[in-house]
């Protein structure tokens, strides 16, 4: 356990009491690990502190308690080893798509020659399907989907050890979302980077992730469960829905979001050192002991 | 019959100009020279009671003569319009350049540091509304040089919009973009030049554009006060000579130069602007 690539230990975020109010604990006792090359999604309702956890991992925010250890070292402040893709893309609007990527490549490799930087940027833009002149357009001249592709290309181009995605597809329509999910999987498959992603979309999480962390509602939110997605890779959308595990996983997640995330929240249920319960659905056999019965998909 | 809007507007502008000039020309009563008056008329004082404003045709003639030899110098009170303009533009650029040298870095500091903002804000608020010409006596006394005092007045009037806009632009840089700089491990200097400066540039250039406009307004008044050279002095000198034709021509020249200065910064503004 202690040899994990990324290890989050006893993370908590608390805000001091405002005048005449009570102090607020958004989440506490957050413990989980991520292995190298793993694709992990985290799901939870708004306000449970998912984004804060991601920002702490990125080094952009500080936790009130606890520590994040990556590759044997404590995470302090932002670093090029941890690339971030924000929901609102965060492209620099005065630079073209290509320049946004070369901006990142140059920060990563200050010693590279200009041609090498440009070639590297082009390669990553092509991976996400930005080519044929679109790379010279400014973000304002690109659609939301194209912007998010550029943002993903920028993050992958710096070759971070850990890639953090904060609801990257939240603002996209379903079709574009599907296409970019596939591109993300393709790039991830080629680069074997470790990905930690926030999403609200249960199907997206099942399609993409090796493991899904489930968070209870805030305040006092916690990472309650770690659901292993044992569906074989490479996955295809039409094939995974045939898999008997798919709907069992899906029902489990939906049930958690609809009911258990609420039931388990609001009080200090768990011990400080508690790890999320691992939930695994095998191809055959019973749901895990203590797990829920099956619920309708649109529960 | 579908003319482009720009062409229509140009035709309308020319028509308005023609109508205006014709009306002006027609409104000016014909002047008779004293030698053309009869003895009786002279005795009775029947010439025009009042000198008239020169008609546009006279102004045009004067423009042709003055522009055909703009750079002559025939003594301290007789210099070509080009020479006078050059003095004014030089003063504006000198005062403005000094102001930019101080306002841009200081504005950056104020924009980046809430402490500096709070500490300097009272001074800015008191100093900013002071009419730049009010500084003139103090400047003359301390600097003891009328030329340098004029430059100082330009400096003091053009510093405020640049300072305030730079601080405002820098403080308003989106946090997302700063986070991009942080996650890419950019140093403070590189963040300033590759993220904050381009992000704040449209606001900064707007301040610089306002400043150059104010500087050009103020230089005319300042030169009327300090005298010697410059387009403002030229206007005042021609008024003392009762040469209204030259005054009107000078007014037009002031307008054209002001427009050119503004157009330059307008072009810079378009170059650095971006849409989100």
Query: How distant is the alpha carbon of residue B129 from its chain centre?
Result: 18
pLDDT mean over A80-104: 93
**Residues in chain A closer than 8 A to B194 (CB atoms):** 103
Contact A140 B274 (CB under 8 A): yes
Distance from CA of B273 to the nearest CA of A (A): 8
pLDDT number for residue B171: 94
Closest to B87 measured CA to CA, from B139, B138, B150: B150
Q: Hey, is the C-beta of B172 within 8 angstroms of any chain A C-beta?
A: no
pLDDT mean over B47-57: 77
Q: At residue B155, does pLDDT exceed 70?
A: yes
Tens digits of per-residue pLDDT, A106-156? 999 999 999 999 999 999 998 888 888 899 999 999 998 899 999 999 998
Q: Please report, rounded to a whole number, the percentage of residues in chain A having pLDDT higher than 90.
A: 49
How far, in Å, CA of A225 to CA of B158, rounded? 63
pLDDT number for residue A294: 47
Distance from CA of A90 to the nearest CA of B (A): 6
pLDDT mean over B168-176: 94
- The better pLDDT of the pair A66, B35 is held by A66
Greatest mean pLDDT among A33-47, A128-142, B204-218 lies in B204-218
Q: Which two tokens stand for residue B85?
A: 């303009």
Q: At residue B184, does pLDDT exceed 80?
A: yes
How far, in Å, CA of A84 to CA of B180, rounded? 8
Query: How distant is the alpha carbon of residue B130 from its chain centre?
Result: 18
pLDDT number for residue A183: 86
How far, in Å, CA of B259 to CA of B257, rounded? 5
Calculate the dihedral angle through the C-alpha atoms of A9, A15, A16, A21, rounding to the nearest 10 degrees: -130
**Residues in chain B closer than 8 A to A161 (CB atoms):** none
Q: At residue A296, does pLDDT exceed 50?
A: no
CATH class of the domain comprising B55-272: mainly alpha
Q: Hey, is the C-beta of B184 within 8 angstroms of any chain A C-beta?
A: yes
Q: Hey, is the C-beta of B199 within 8 angstroms of any chain A C-beta?
A: yes
How far, in Å, CA of B274 to CA of B252, rounded? 35
Contact B183 A92 (CB under 8 A): no
Backbone angles phi and psi of A225, in degrees to 5: -135, 155
Closest to B228 measured CA to CA, from B84, B69, B80, B86: B84
pLDDT number for residue B252: 95
pLDDT mean over B119-129: 94
pLDDT mean over A69-92: 91
Considering only A154-163, A165-174, B125-134, which range has the smallest mean pLDDT? A165-174
Grade residue B34 by pLDDT with cuts at 50, 70 and 90.
low
Angle in degrees, CA B211, B215, B218, rounded to 5: 140
pLDDT number for residue B91: 96
Tens digits of per-residue pLDDT, B221-230? 999 999 889 9
Peptide bond into A219 cis (omega under 30): yes
Q: Please report, rounded to a whole number, the percentage of residues in chain A having pLDDT higher than 70.
A: 92
pLDDT number for residue A284: 60
How far, in Å, CA of B120 to CA of B109, rounded? 10
Considering only A142-146, A290-294, B107-111, which range has the smallest mean pLDDT? A290-294
pLDDT number for residue A89: 86
Q: Hey, is the C-beta of B188 within 8 angstroms of any chain A C-beta?
A: no
How far, in Å, CA of A288 to CA of A278, rounded? 9
pLDDT number for residue B49: 65
Tens digits of per-residue pLDDT, A8-23? 999 999 988 888 788 8
Closest to A4 measured CA to CA, from A73, A77, A66: A73
Grade residue A270 by pLDDT with cuts at 50, 70 and 90.
low
**Long-range CB contacts for residues A136-140, cutoff 8 Å, separation at least 24:** A136/A96, A136/A97, A136/A98, A137/A96, A137/A97, A138/A93, A138/A94, A138/A95, A138/A96, A138/A97, A138/B274, A138/B275, A139/A89, A139/A91, A139/A92, A139/A93, A139/A95, A139/A97, A139/A100, A139/B276, A140/A93, A140/B274, A140/B275, A140/B276
Mean pLDDT of chain B: 91
Grade residue B164 by pLDDT with cuts at 50, 70 and 90.
very high
Q: What is the largest CA-CA distance in chain B?
A: 94
Q: Hey, is the C-beta of B49 within 8 angstroms of any chain A C-beta?
A: no
| C-beta separation of A214 from A227 below 8 A | yes
What's the number of CA atoms in the CB half-sphere (13 Å) around residue B178? 12
Radius of gyration of chain A (CA): 20
Contact B275 A93 (CB under 8 A): yes
Tens digits of per-residue pLDDT, A169-196? 887 888 888 888 998 898 888 888 899 9
- The better pLDDT of the pair B31, A178 is held by A178
pLDDT number for residue A287: 53
Grade residue B31 by pLDDT with cuts at 50, 70 and 90.
low
pLDDT number for residue A233: 86
pLDDT number for residue B274: 93
pLDDT number for residue A160: 92
pLDDT number for residue A171: 79
Q: Hey, is the C-beta of B274 within 8 angstroms of any chain A C-beta?
A: yes
pLDDT number for residue B247: 95
**Domain range summary for chain B, segments of one domain joined by +:** 55-272
Contact B179 A107 (CB under 8 A): no
Most A-contacting residue of B174, B183, B199 (CB-CB within 10 A), to test interface? B183
Tens digits of per-residue pLDDT, A53-78? 999 999 999 999 999 999 889 998 99
Mean pLDDT of chain A: 87
How far, in Å, CA of A282 to CA of B235, rounded? 94
pLDDT number for residue A80: 92
Grade residue A295 by pLDDT with cuts at 50, 70 and 90.
very low
pLDDT mean over B132-158: 94
Backbone angles phi and psi of A194, in degrees to 5: -95, 135
Q: What is the ipTM of this complex?
A: 0.84
How far, in Å, CA of A259 to CA of A20, rounded? 32
Contact B177 A94 (CB under 8 A): no
Distance from CA of B271 to the nearest CA of A (A): 10
Contact A139 B272 (CB under 8 A): no
Grade residue A267 by pLDDT with cuts at 50, 70 and 90.
low
């Amino acid at each position: 356990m202690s040899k994990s690539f990324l290890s989050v230990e006893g993370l908590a975020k608390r805000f001091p009491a405002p005048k005449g109010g009570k102090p607020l604990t958004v989440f506490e006792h957050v413990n989980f690990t991520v292995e190298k090359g793993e694709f992990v999604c985290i799901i939870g309702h708004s306000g449970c502190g998912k984004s804060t956890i991601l920002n702490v991992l990125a080094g952009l925010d500080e936790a009130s308690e606890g520590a994040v250890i990556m590759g044997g070292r404590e995470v302090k402040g932002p670093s090029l080893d941890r690339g971030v893709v924000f929901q609102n893309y965060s492209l620099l609007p005065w630079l073209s798509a290509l320049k946004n990527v070369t901006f990142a490549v140059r920060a990563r490799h200050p010693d590279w020659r200009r041609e090498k930087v440009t070639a590297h940027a082009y390669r990553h833009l092509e991976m996400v399907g930005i080519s044929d002149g679109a790379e010279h357009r400014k973000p304002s001249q690109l659609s939301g989907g194209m912007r998010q592709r550029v943002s993903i290309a920028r993050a992958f181009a710096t070759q971070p050890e850990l890639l953090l995605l904060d609801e990257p597809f939240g603002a996209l329509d379903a079709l574009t979302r599907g296409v970019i999910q596939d591109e993300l999987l393709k790039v991830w498959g080629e680069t074997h980077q470790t990905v930690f992603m926030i999403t609200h979309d249960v199907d997206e999480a099942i399609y993409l992730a090796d493991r899904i962390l489930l968070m209870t509602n805030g305040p006092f939110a916690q990472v309650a469960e770690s659901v292993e997605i044992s569906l074989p890779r490479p996955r295809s959308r039409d094939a995974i829905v045939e898999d008997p595990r798919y709907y069992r996983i899906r029902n489990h997640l939906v049930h958690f979001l609809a009911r258990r995330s609420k039931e388990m929240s609001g009080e200090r249920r768990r011990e400080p050192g508690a790890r999320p319960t691992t939930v695994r659905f095998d191809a055959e056999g019973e749901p895990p002991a203590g797990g829920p019965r099956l619920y309708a998909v649109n529960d | 019959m579908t003319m482009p809007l720009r062409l229509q507007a140009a035709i309308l502008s020319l028509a308005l100009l023609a109508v205006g000039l014709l009306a002006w020309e027609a409104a000016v009563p014909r002047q008779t020279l004293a030698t053309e008056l009869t003895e009786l008329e002279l005795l009775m004082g029947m010439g025009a009671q009042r000198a008239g404003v020169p008609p546009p045709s006279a102004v045009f003639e004067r423009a042709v003569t003055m522009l055909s030899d703009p750079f002559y110098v025939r003594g301290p009170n007789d210099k070509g319009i080009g020479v006078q303009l050059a003095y004014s533009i030089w003063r504006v650029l000198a005062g403005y350049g000094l102001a930019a040298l101080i306002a841009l870095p200081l504005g950056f500091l104020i924009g980046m540091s809430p402490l500096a903002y709070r500490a300097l804000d009272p001074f800015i608020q008191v100093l900013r509304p002071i009419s730049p010409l009010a500084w003139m006596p103090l400047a003359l006394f301390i600097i003891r040089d009328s030329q340098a005092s004029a430059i100082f007045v330009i400096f003091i009037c053009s510093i405020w919009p640049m300072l305030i806009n730079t601080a405002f632009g820098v403080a308003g840089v989106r946090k997302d973009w700063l986070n991009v700089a942080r996650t890419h491990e950019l140093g403070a200097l590189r963040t300033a030049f590759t993220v904050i400066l381009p992000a704040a540039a449209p606001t900064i250039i707007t301040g610089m554009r306002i400043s150059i406009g104010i500087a050009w307004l103020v230089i005319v008044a300042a030169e009327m006060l300090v005298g010697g050279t410059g387009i403002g002095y030229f206007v005042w000198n021609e008024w003392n000579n009762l040469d209204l034709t030259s005054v009107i021509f000078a007014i037009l020249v002031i307008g054209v130069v002001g427009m050119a200065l503004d157009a330059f910064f307008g072009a810079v503004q378009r170059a650095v602007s971006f849409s989100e």
